[in-house]
Amino acid sequence: MTSTQTLIELDHVALGWKDKIALRDISGCFTRGSLTAIVGPNGAGKSTLLKGLTGQINPLKGRIAVDSGFLDQLALLPQMGDLDKSFPVTVHDLVAMGAWKRVGAWGGFPKAEHERLGHALEQVGLADFARRSIGTLSGGQLQRALFARMIMQDAQILLLDEPFAAVDRATSDELMNLILDWHKQGRTVMAVLHDLDMVRSCFPQTVLLAGQVVGWGQTEAVLTPENLHLARHLCAGDYL
Protein backbone atom coordinates (compact mmCIF):
# COMPACT_ATOMS: atom_id res chain seq x y z
CA MET A 1 0.00 0.00 0.00
CA THR A 2 2.48 2.60 -1.14
CA SER A 3 1.89 5.89 -2.90
CA THR A 4 4.01 8.60 -4.41
CA GLN A 5 3.14 11.10 -1.65
CA THR A 6 6.35 12.17 0.04
CA LEU A 7 5.99 12.29 3.84
CA ILE A 8 9.60 12.96 4.81
CA GLU A 9 12.28 14.46 2.58
CA LEU A 10 15.97 14.90 3.37
CA ASP A 11 17.98 17.40 1.34
CA HIS A 12 21.80 17.20 1.71
CA VAL A 13 21.48 16.58 5.45
CA ALA A 14 24.39 16.27 7.88
CA LEU A 15 23.62 14.86 11.32
CA GLY A 16 25.71 14.54 14.43
CA TRP A 17 27.28 16.82 16.99
CA LYS A 18 29.63 19.76 16.76
CA ASP A 19 32.76 17.66 17.13
CA LYS A 20 31.51 14.62 15.19
CA ILE A 21 29.44 14.28 12.03
CA ALA A 22 27.79 10.85 12.04
CA LEU A 23 26.00 11.22 8.70
CA ARG A 24 26.81 13.52 5.82
CA ASP A 25 25.11 14.60 2.60
CA ILE A 26 21.96 12.50 3.10
CA SER A 27 19.32 13.05 0.43
CA GLY A 28 16.22 10.97 -0.17
CA CYS A 29 12.56 10.61 0.74
CA PHE A 30 10.12 8.29 2.46
CA THR A 31 6.76 7.97 0.74
CA ARG A 32 3.39 7.33 2.34
CA GLY A 33 2.73 3.68 3.07
CA SER A 34 6.32 2.60 2.44
CA LEU A 35 8.07 -0.14 4.44
CA THR A 36 11.78 0.63 4.69
CA ALA A 37 14.68 -1.10 6.42
CA ILE A 38 17.63 1.03 7.56
CA VAL A 39 20.80 -1.06 7.61
CA GLY A 40 24.55 -0.69 7.79
CA PRO A 41 27.58 -1.73 9.83
CA ASN A 42 28.07 -0.65 13.44
CA GLY A 43 28.73 3.08 13.53
CA ALA A 44 26.99 3.65 10.19
CA GLY A 45 24.64 6.30 11.63
CA LYS A 46 21.40 4.30 11.64
CA SER A 47 20.13 5.44 15.05
CA THR A 48 21.37 8.94 14.34
CA LEU A 49 19.14 9.05 11.27
CA LEU A 50 16.10 8.14 13.37
CA LYS A 51 17.01 10.87 15.87
CA GLY A 52 17.07 13.35 13.01
CA LEU A 53 13.78 12.14 11.56
CA THR A 54 12.03 12.45 14.93
CA GLY A 55 13.54 15.87 15.72
CA GLN A 56 15.66 14.69 18.65
CA ILE A 57 18.64 16.30 16.93
CA ASN A 58 18.66 19.07 14.35
CA PRO A 59 20.59 18.88 11.08
CA LEU A 60 24.03 20.47 11.13
CA LYS A 61 23.52 21.11 7.43
CA GLY A 62 20.69 20.64 4.97
CA ARG A 63 16.99 20.23 5.61
CA ILE A 64 14.55 17.57 6.86
CA ALA A 65 10.98 18.32 5.80
CA VAL A 66 7.97 16.42 7.18
CA ASP A 67 4.59 16.77 5.47
CA SER A 68 2.68 19.30 7.57
CA GLY A 69 -0.30 16.98 7.85
CA PHE A 70 1.82 14.37 9.59
CA LEU A 71 3.95 16.43 11.99
CA ASP A 72 2.15 14.94 15.01
CA GLN A 73 1.97 11.46 13.50
CA LEU A 74 5.46 10.17 14.27
CA ALA A 75 6.01 7.42 16.83
CA LEU A 76 9.40 6.02 17.87
CA LEU A 77 10.21 2.63 19.35
CA PRO A 78 13.61 3.22 21.00
CA GLN A 79 16.40 0.76 21.61
CA MET A 80 15.81 -1.24 24.77
CA GLY A 81 19.19 -0.07 26.04
CA ASP A 82 17.80 3.48 26.18
CA LEU A 83 15.26 2.47 28.84
CA ASP A 84 15.81 2.42 32.61
CA LYS A 85 14.29 -0.88 33.69
CA SER A 86 14.82 0.05 37.34
CA PHE A 87 12.25 2.84 37.07
CA PRO A 88 9.16 1.78 39.08
CA VAL A 89 6.55 1.62 36.35
CA THR A 90 4.14 -1.15 35.44
CA VAL A 91 3.50 -2.58 32.00
CA HIS A 92 0.06 -0.94 32.11
CA ASP A 93 1.53 2.50 32.78
CA LEU A 94 4.28 2.10 30.19
CA VAL A 95 1.76 1.19 27.50
CA ALA A 96 -0.69 3.89 28.66
CA MET A 97 1.98 6.50 27.87
CA GLY A 98 1.14 5.88 24.23
CA ALA A 99 -2.21 7.62 24.75
CA TRP A 100 -0.61 10.81 26.07
CA LYS A 101 -1.45 12.94 23.02
CA ARG A 102 -5.11 12.01 23.31
CA VAL A 103 -5.64 12.22 27.09
CA GLY A 104 -2.99 14.78 28.15
CA ALA A 105 -0.63 14.67 31.09
CA TRP A 106 -3.23 15.29 33.79
CA GLY A 107 -6.45 14.08 32.28
CA GLY A 108 -8.29 10.95 33.31
CA PHE A 109 -7.94 7.67 31.47
CA PRO A 110 -11.38 7.06 29.95
CA LYS A 111 -12.97 3.67 29.45
CA ALA A 112 -12.29 3.72 25.71
CA GLU A 113 -8.56 4.08 26.38
CA HIS A 114 -8.63 1.23 28.90
CA GLU A 115 -10.25 -0.95 26.26
CA ARG A 116 -7.70 0.15 23.67
CA LEU A 117 -4.87 -0.65 26.09
CA GLY A 118 -6.26 -4.08 26.83
CA HIS A 119 -6.51 -4.82 23.11
CA ALA A 120 -2.92 -3.64 22.57
CA LEU A 121 -1.65 -5.99 25.29
CA GLU A 122 -3.61 -8.86 23.76
CA GLN A 123 -2.07 -8.16 20.36
CA VAL A 124 1.45 -8.53 21.75
CA GLY A 125 0.70 -11.48 24.04
CA LEU A 126 0.92 -9.59 27.34
CA ALA A 127 -2.73 -9.61 28.42
CA ASP A 128 -1.80 -11.04 31.86
CA PHE A 129 1.19 -8.76 32.42
CA ALA A 130 -0.48 -5.37 32.97
CA ARG A 131 0.39 -5.11 36.67
CA ARG A 132 3.91 -6.44 36.36
CA SER A 133 6.83 -4.04 36.88
CA ILE A 134 8.88 -3.56 33.72
CA GLY A 135 11.95 -4.53 35.76
CA THR A 136 10.64 -8.10 35.99
CA LEU A 137 10.26 -8.54 32.23
CA SER A 138 12.55 -10.46 29.93
CA GLY A 139 13.99 -8.70 26.91
CA GLY A 140 11.33 -10.15 24.64
CA GLN A 141 8.51 -9.22 27.02
CA LEU A 142 9.78 -5.65 27.33
CA GLN A 143 9.97 -5.35 23.56
CA ARG A 144 6.38 -6.59 23.31
CA ALA A 145 5.35 -3.91 25.83
CA LEU A 146 7.06 -1.23 23.73
CA PHE A 147 5.18 -2.49 20.66
CA ALA A 148 1.94 -2.24 22.65
CA ARG A 149 2.79 1.36 23.53
CA MET A 150 3.31 2.05 19.83
CA ILE A 151 -0.08 0.50 19.08
CA MET A 152 -1.60 2.89 21.64
CA GLN A 153 0.02 5.86 19.90
CA ASP A 154 -1.90 5.00 16.72
CA ALA A 155 0.52 7.05 14.62
CA GLN A 156 0.84 6.99 10.83
CA ILE A 157 4.66 7.14 10.69
CA LEU A 158 6.38 4.47 12.78
CA LEU A 159 10.13 4.41 13.41
CA LEU A 160 11.67 1.40 15.14
CA ASP A 161 15.27 1.27 16.37
CA GLU A 162 16.50 -2.34 16.42
CA PRO A 163 13.08 -3.81 17.29
CA PHE A 164 14.36 -7.39 17.32
CA ALA A 165 17.51 -6.93 19.40
CA ALA A 166 17.81 -9.41 22.29
CA VAL A 167 14.60 -11.27 21.45
CA ASP A 168 14.20 -14.86 20.29
CA ARG A 169 13.18 -15.92 16.80
CA ALA A 170 9.57 -16.70 17.75
CA THR A 171 9.12 -13.23 19.26
CA SER A 172 10.81 -11.62 16.27
CA ASP A 173 8.44 -13.40 13.90
CA GLU A 174 5.37 -12.32 15.90
CA LEU A 175 6.51 -8.71 16.09
CA MET A 176 7.42 -8.72 12.39
CA ASN A 177 3.85 -9.79 11.64
CA LEU A 178 2.64 -6.72 13.56
CA ILE A 179 4.88 -4.51 11.43
CA LEU A 180 3.52 -6.13 8.27
CA ASP A 181 -0.02 -5.52 9.52
CA TRP A 182 0.79 -1.83 10.04
CA HIS A 183 2.12 -1.70 6.50
CA LYS A 184 -1.08 -3.31 5.16
CA GLN A 185 -3.05 -0.62 7.01
CA GLY A 186 -1.21 2.01 4.96
CA ARG A 187 1.11 3.22 7.71
CA THR A 188 4.66 4.28 6.88
CA VAL A 189 7.27 2.18 8.67
CA MET A 190 11.04 2.59 9.00
CA ALA A 191 13.06 0.08 11.01
CA VAL A 192 16.76 -0.17 11.89
CA LEU A 193 17.67 -3.84 11.39
CA HIS A 194 20.68 -6.16 11.31
CA ASP A 195 19.13 -9.34 9.89
CA LEU A 196 19.60 -8.94 6.15
CA ASP A 197 17.69 -12.14 5.41
CA MET A 198 14.66 -10.65 7.16
CA VAL A 199 15.15 -7.39 5.28
CA ARG A 200 15.25 -9.19 1.94
CA SER A 201 12.13 -11.23 2.68
CA CYS A 202 9.96 -8.56 4.35
CA PHE A 203 11.07 -5.02 3.40
CA PRO A 204 10.52 -3.72 -0.15
CA GLN A 205 12.69 -0.62 0.43
CA THR A 206 16.11 -0.31 2.07
CA VAL A 207 18.47 2.49 3.03
CA LEU A 208 22.08 1.30 3.37
CA LEU A 209 24.23 3.67 5.42
CA ALA A 210 27.93 3.95 6.17
CA GLY A 211 28.25 7.51 7.42
CA GLN A 212 26.61 8.43 4.13
CA VAL A 213 24.09 6.83 1.79
CA VAL A 214 25.54 3.80 0.02
CA GLY A 215 22.18 2.79 -1.45
CA TRP A 216 18.53 3.91 -1.16
CA GLY A 217 15.72 2.23 -3.05
CA GLN A 218 14.42 -1.23 -3.89
CA THR A 219 15.93 -3.74 -1.49
CA GLU A 220 17.29 -6.10 -4.12
CA ALA A 221 19.06 -3.21 -5.86
CA VAL A 222 20.53 -1.86 -2.61
CA LEU A 223 21.73 -5.03 -0.85
CA THR A 224 24.21 -6.08 -3.51
CA PRO A 225 27.56 -7.65 -2.59
CA GLU A 226 29.30 -4.57 -3.99
CA ASN A 227 27.30 -2.14 -1.85
CA LEU A 228 27.71 -4.22 1.30
CA HIS A 229 31.45 -4.46 0.70
CA LEU A 230 31.68 -0.69 0.20
CA ALA A 231 29.66 -0.02 3.37
CA ARG A 232 31.97 -2.19 5.46
CA HIS A 233 35.05 -0.43 4.14
CA LEU A 234 33.58 3.05 4.57
CA CYS A 235 32.77 2.33 8.21
CA ALA A 236 36.25 0.93 8.72
CA GLY A 237 37.67 4.20 7.39
CA ASP A 238 39.32 2.64 4.35
CA TYR A 239 37.79 5.13 1.92
CA LEU A 240 37.60 8.23 4.10
Q: What is the pLDDT of residues 116-160, one digit of tens each?
A: 999 999 999 999 999 999 999 998 999 999 999 999 999 999 999
CA distance 86 to 107: 26
Digit-coded pLDDT (tens) for 31-59: 999 999 999 999 999 999 999 999 999 99
Question: What is the four-CA torsion angle of 116, 36, 165, 173, rounded to 10 degrees?
Answer: 70
Angle among Cα 90, 96, 101 to the nearest 5 degrees reads 145
Digit-coded pLDDT (tens) for 185-234: 999 999 999 999 999 999 999 999 999 999 999 999 999 999 999 999 99
pLDDT top residue among 237 and 203: 203
Which residues are CB-neighbours of 219 under 8 A, at least 6 positions away? Answer: 37, 199, 200, 203, 204, 205, 206
- Given 3-state DSSP classes, what are the helix, strand and coil percentages for the chain, each rounded to the nearest 5? 40, 25, 35
At 84, the pLDDT band (50, 70, 90 cuts) reads confident
Which DSSP helix (H) or strand (E) runs through 101?
A: helix 100-103
Predicted local distance difference test score (pLDDT) of residue 3:
65
What does the DSSP assignment read for 33-69? T-EEEEE-STTSSHHHHHHHHTTSS--SEEEEEE-GG
Predicted local distance difference test score (pLDDT) of residue 240:
39
Domains and CATH numbers, the chain: 1-73+156-240 (3.40.50.300), 81-154 (no CATH)
At 239, the pLDDT band (50, 70, 90 cuts) reads very low
pTM of model > 0.85 = yes
CA distance 193 to 196: 8
Predicted local distance difference test score (pLDDT) of residue 45:
95
